Amino acid sequence: MSFSTILSAAIQGLHVDMIHVEADVSNGLPVFHMVGYLSSEVREASERVRTAIHNSGFQIPAKKMVVNLAPATVRKKGASFDLPIALAILSSMGIFPGEELRETLVIGELSLDGSIKEVPGILPIVMQAKEEGCRRCIIPRQNVREGALVRGMEIIGAEHLKEICRYLNQEEELEAVTGGMQEGLQDIQEKEALDYSDIKGQEAVKRAMEVAVAGGHNLLLIGPPGSGKTMMARRVPTILPPPALEESIEITKIYSILGMVDKERPLITGRPFRSVHHTVTKTALAGGGMIPVPGEISLAHGGVLFLDELAEFQKPVLEVLRQPLEERQIRITRALGNFVFPADFILICAMNPCPCGNYPDYNRCTCTPVKIQQYLSRVSQPFLDRIDICVEAPRLEYEALTDGGGQESSAKIRGRVCAARKVQQKRYEGRRILTNSVLGVNELKEFCHLGKDEEALMRQAFGALGLTARTYHKILKVARTIADLDGSERIRQQHLKEAIGYRTMDKKYWR
């Protein structure tokens, strides 16, 4: 009987900590004792592990067994430590040589019969294992395709504890996959079932959406029920440029931690689109818990967060979005430490102009001015200041619905969006800037310089519309994007006028 240690991992937020699973089997009273700052589900591993070892054909001696998960300062949760605990005990019992697991990370949940179940968070764990110098990972068979996304890492998938022991004793071969499946997966694209060619009319709204996507700007749609606000918002992913490989990996890491990846095609090659119901809580939106996990804000990272019926959301919930919209990340502080989740997304909101939805059509609107103001006041001015583009979706006329003319497809719009994004990537090469929406004050001075006529127009709009410093900067960013779509190196008057027009709509309703 002896001491053994096996490398595993724990996830804290989006951060991965390496965990050393230590086991000591020695003479003494027959007990199974586990230590190391463990959650209740990890403590329960003692019963699962002992039963799985017994049902795998190994006899557990009547000895004192102590298992330590180090470092003790890191909180451990989940059932993913079952497999490394079992292997550490078996190694201490001399079932297989401990040297066989050198430079190897092990993770997996055990059933009582010794079979190995899949666990969440495999991608970030394998990536961290590679950084720590591991050459091999033993993981559940169901997680192999996800683990193999990491280039250069040897991935061994197992279905039963018994076959791992035979493999480590060189009595059986297990198939090893070398990471690097990205090349075969990154070209896979979902066939889009939605298309902007389905939408009749609303050309001004579609133009605003094109500008918003091209520059990564936040967008608010206001209009009566049935004007197509939700329909158009749900088609935004069809005009978004596909993510680069690094972005796909970053998005997949978030979904992996929450166990939301497809086991057959784990790499997420499209942009996320998260539509949030108005009953969502602050924790569900921002993330949280004793050990915080990502919320809807982080699940929309790299894609779109859609809030339909904006005025129906609780006001404190909407205020949660203010800081992430500015900093492109969200910070959560708990007793266990500070957690930072990514939050770089396009916010698209849709709402009615009043409770009945017909304002300012006084022939149809049944709301009093007081009711209208109470309804609109649910959306605060500081929140509106973080919206780059506000556009009205008017009620469609019969002629627009029955027009047989061909509507522009999503593919054509996406082509223009991708061209504008390439212009921005080239302009900001060497900087940590991907789109115009994240330009800082210094970059605005450098890349959004206005001529004499444009400066006079901006000065006039600033006073007439009562703009703040934030909304002034947002107009410049939107104008820069419109100029990029137009293929212009400098911002001209027509670009600035269109950008200013996108700030007048909110003044119409919020006086």
Max mean pLDDT range (79-93, 172-186, 497-511): 79-93
pLDDT at residue 384 above 70? yes
Report field, pTM of the whole predicted structure over 0.75: yes
Same domain, 221 and 253: yes
Per-residue model confidence (pLDDT) at position 351? 94
CB 393 within 8 A of CB 229: yes
Q: Is residue 189 part of a domain?
A: no
Same domain, 26 and 160: yes
Give residue-wise pLDDT tens across range 176-194.
888 665 443 433 344 457 8
What share of the chain has pLDDT > 70, as a percent? 96
Phi-psi region of 456 (alpha: psi -120 to 50; beta: other; left: phi over 0): alpha
Residue 67 belongs to domain spanning: 3-180
Q: If you average pLDDT over residues 191-199, what whole number do you get?
A: 77
Cβ-count burial 145-159 (b if 16+ within 10 Å, e if not): bbbbbbeebbbbbbb
Residue 209 pLDDT class (50, 70, 90 cuts):
very high
Q: Is residue 186 part of a domain?
A: no
Of 140, 155, 180, which one is at a domain's C-terminal end? 180
Rounded Cα distance, 461 and 345, in Å = 28
Same domain, 200 and 175: no
Of 112, 146, 180, which one is at a domain's C-terminal end? 180
Same domain, 167 and 250: no
DSSP of 333-382, one letter per residue? EETTEEEEEE---EEEEEE-SSSSS-TT-TTT----HHHHHHHHTTS-HH
Residue type, 271: R
Rounded Cα distance, 320 and 325, in Å = 9
Q: If you average pLDDT over residues 308-321, what whole number do you get?
A: 94
Per-residue model confidence (pLDDT) at position 194? 84
Rounded Cα distance, 452 and 9, in Å = 60
Rounded Cα distance, 465 and 210, in Å = 24
Rounded Cα distance, 444 and 449, in Å = 7
Q: From start to end of 13-92, where are the E strands?
A: 15-26, 32-35, 64-70
Per-residue model confidence (pLDDT) at position 187? 38
Same domain, 277 and 422: yes
Same domain, 326 and 281: yes
Same domain, 135 and 227: no
CA distances from 117 to 11, 79, 147 (A): 18, 10, 15
Helix, strand or coil, per DSSP, at residue 492: coil
Q: State the DSSP code for 156.
A: E
| CATH (domain of 307) | 3.40.50.300
Structure tokens at 511: 């006086």
The count of structural domains within the chain is 2
Per-residue model confidence (pLDDT) at position 288? 84
Q: Is residue 185 part of a domain?
A: no
Q: Is residue 367 part of a domain?
A: yes
Same domain, 415 and 449: yes
Q: What is the mean pLDDT of the chain?
A: 90
Per-residue model confidence (pLDDT) at position 212? 97
Q: Lowest-confidence range among 26-40, 97-111, 355-369, 464-478?
A: 355-369
Residue 510 pLDDT class (50, 70, 90 cuts):
confident
Same domain, 159 and 209: no
Rounded Cα distance, 299 and 305, in Å = 9
Same domain, 210 and 346: yes
Rounded Cα distance, 164 and 168, in Å = 6
Per-residue model confidence (pLDDT) at position 20? 97
Q: Is residue 190 part of a domain?
A: no
Per-residue model confidence (pLDDT) at position 192? 53
Same domain, 172 and 264: no
Give residue-wise pLDDT tens across range 255-287.
999 999 988 889 999 999 999 999 999 999 999
Per-residue model confidence (pLDDT) at position 189? 42
Residue 5 pLDDT class (50, 70, 90 cuts):
very high
Instruction: Give the ranges where 369-440 is alpha helix by DSSP (H).
Output: 369-376, 381-385, 398-402, 410-427
Give residue-wise pLDDT tens across range 419-449.
999 999 999 998 889 899 999 999 999 999 8
| CATH (domain of 169) | 3.30.230.10
CB 167 within 8 A of CB 270: no
Q: Is residue 457 part of a domain?
A: yes
Same domain, 416 and 452: yes
Of 154, 180, 206, which one is at a domain's C-terminal end? 180
* E strand or H helix that includes residue 457: helix 452-465
Backbone angles phi, psi at 239, to 5 degrees: -115, 0
Rounded Cα distance, 252 and 268, in Å = 6
Among the listed residues 324, 9, 125, 386, the one whose alpha carbon sits nearest the alpha carbon of residue 332? 324
CB 353 within 8 A of CB 284: no
